[in-house]
Structure 1
Amino acid sequence: MASIEDFRMKSHELLIELDAATMEMMTLVTSKCVSGPDWDFASKRQHDAYKSWDAFMNTPNTNI
């Protein structure tokens, strides 16, 4: 069983990556660079970061 501290730390780690990935995309938007390989990479990074965080947050709790 993971402790609440383990949960908090993992959630924080995933949110840091999600925030960084989103910020990278927004930086590209302000640079008017919303297509091409840089955009594709940033978009995939943000998508993957969100999926990881969402999967973590929606993992069934078997201890209830």
Structure 2
Amino acid sequence: MTSTDDFRFHAHELMVDLDAATAEMMKLISAHQLSGPEWERVTQWQHEAYERWMTYLNKRSYPDHNVTP
């Protein structure tokens, strides 16, 4: 796999997790369940999924072609 394929594969995994967490949060909001252990679990999941996504996007995992050795 190329580095682009690796990036896309991992990005897709992270987006699926973030989307699932956000969908669960929206279901709880629609059900007016904005407190309690399930709300805490889902908001923590959504927060962590978002943080993993942002960390991945901001991570420099590619060589800088503008720097000379």
Residue type matched to 2:50 in 1? Y
| Matched residue, 1:50 | 50
Q: How far apart in 1 are the matches of 2:56 and 2:26?
A: 24
Rg larger for: 2
Percentage of identical aligned residues: 41
TM-score (norm 2): 0.87
SS of alignment partner, residue 34 of structure 2: coil
Q: How many residues align?
A: 63
Of 53-62 and 22-31, more deviation after overlay is shown by 53-62
Tell me the equivalent position of 1:14: 14
Q: Secondary structure at the match of 1:52?
A: helix
Gaps of 5+ in 2: 65-69
Give 4+ residue runs of structure 1 displaced > 3 Å after superposition: none
Deviation for aligned residue 1:60: 1.8
Equivalence for 2:63:
63
More relative contact order, 1 or 2 (CA 8 Å, 6+ apart): 1
Tell me, which stretches of 5 or more residues in structure 1 are unaligned?
none
Q: Deviations over 1:4-40 (max 9, x none)?
A: 0000000000000000000000000000000000000
